[in-house]
Amino acid sequence: MNSFERRNKIVDLVNTQGSVLVLDLSNTFGISEVTIRADLRLLEDKGLVTRFHGGAARAGSNLIESDNQEVILEERYQLASDPKKRIAQAAAAMIEEGMTVLLDSGSTTLLVAEALAKNTNITVITNNLPAAFTLSDNKDITLVVCGGTVRHKTHSMHGTIAERSLQGISADLMFVGADGIDATNGITTFNEGYSISGVMAAAAHKVVAVLDATKFNRRGFNQVLPMEKIDCVITDESISAQDRLALENTHVELKVV
């Protein structure tokens, strides 16, 4: 895909979803966040999108980025597309008092953390630094952050130290996102190796993939988890009948919101 096609696709995504995040676009197209920001600047100059800190919304949106003002975290994720918010809320609704939850990296799992921010008497273990920050003010949540090496592109912790920090952990649920899903290859990503996701999955009694319908039949070059390691998929109502059938044939629980 050349730059012209990529920018047209970005405009299509903004108009369809209402807003997009730089991190999501970087993962979707397998290019750097710097390149995505340059694309968004050019599209804003043409009047095709409105940029905000960390992403872009439809042209004419009221929240405009300036040198002296950033859109705060809560406002930024209110701009996230409705399907992702519905998916995050459905995921959060699965969590009961007393549970231990593993949150993997990604923007949808960050939205899950946002939805959990007022919960009480739960334990959240995560390598997702923005999610940890979101939950850190709630003294009624036991928050455990994996050690390890920071992957700046995804703002998350990875590597041997992060994986070892999960040894001996037993969690009720794990929530994982990805760049793509298909019934044959499971969930995949365009990022570098995602071995920590496998370690998290092995530590959880139930693994829940949180993926909007645009991720179906997209395949990244690294496998996050095969289908046999996934117990449930939460997606939105835009999923096609064909993709729904393919997923149901894998005997994975499917929740459509």
Between 80-84, 174-178, 180-184, 238-242, the lowest mean confidence (pLDDT) is in 80-84
User: Do 124 and 61 fall into the same domain?
Assistant: no
User: Do 66 and 157 fall into the same domain?
Assistant: no
Closest CA relative to residue 106, chosen from 91, 121, 123: 91
Which ranges constitute the DSSP H helices of 46-176? Answer: 73-78, 82-93, 107-116, 129-135, 160-164
| Mean pLDDT (the chain, rounded) | 87
Domain count across the chain: 2
User: Do 9 and 109 fall into the same domain?
Assistant: no
- Rounded Cα distance between 236 and 83, Å, is 6
User: Do 108 and 219 fall into the same domain?
Assistant: yes
Rounded to an integer, the average pLDDT of 81-104 is 91
Q: Which of 24, 45, 78 is the last residue of a domain?
A: 78
User: Do 106 and 197 fall into the same domain?
Assistant: yes
User: Do 170 and 96 fall into the same domain?
Assistant: yes
pLDDT digits (tens, 9 = 90+) for 199-246: 999 999 999 999 999 899 888 888 899 999 999 999 999 999 999 999
- Rounded Cα distance between 185 and 19, Å, is 28
> What is the 8-class DSSP label of residue 95?
-
User: Do 38 and 150 fall into the same domain?
Assistant: no
* pTM greater than 0.75: no
Q: Which of 78, 96, 126 is the last residue of a domain?
A: 78
pLDDT digits (tens, 9 = 90+) for 49-59: 988 877 888 88
User: Do 31 and 124 fall into the same domain?
Assistant: no
pLDDT digits (tens, 9 = 90+) for 69-87: 334 444 444 444 478 889 9
pLDDT of the residue at 110: 93
Please give the C-alpha separations between residue 139 and each of 55, 90, 119, 135, 136, in angstroms, as whole numbers: 30, 23, 10, 9, 7
pLDDT of the residue at 26: 87
Reduce the DSSP state of residue 229 to 3 states and report it: helix
Domain that holds residue 175: 82-256
- Rounded Cα distance between 228 and 247, Å, is 11
Alpha carbon of residue 110 to chain centroid: 6
Q: Which residue matches tokens 């903004």?
A: 14
pLDDT > 90 fraction of the chain, expressed in percent and rounded: 57
Q: What is the CATH number of the domain that holds 20?
A: 1.10.10.10
User: Do 52 and 87 fall into the same domain?
Assistant: no
Closest CA relative to residue 190, chosen from 36, 5, 28, 13: 28
- Say whether pLDDT at 62 is over 70: no
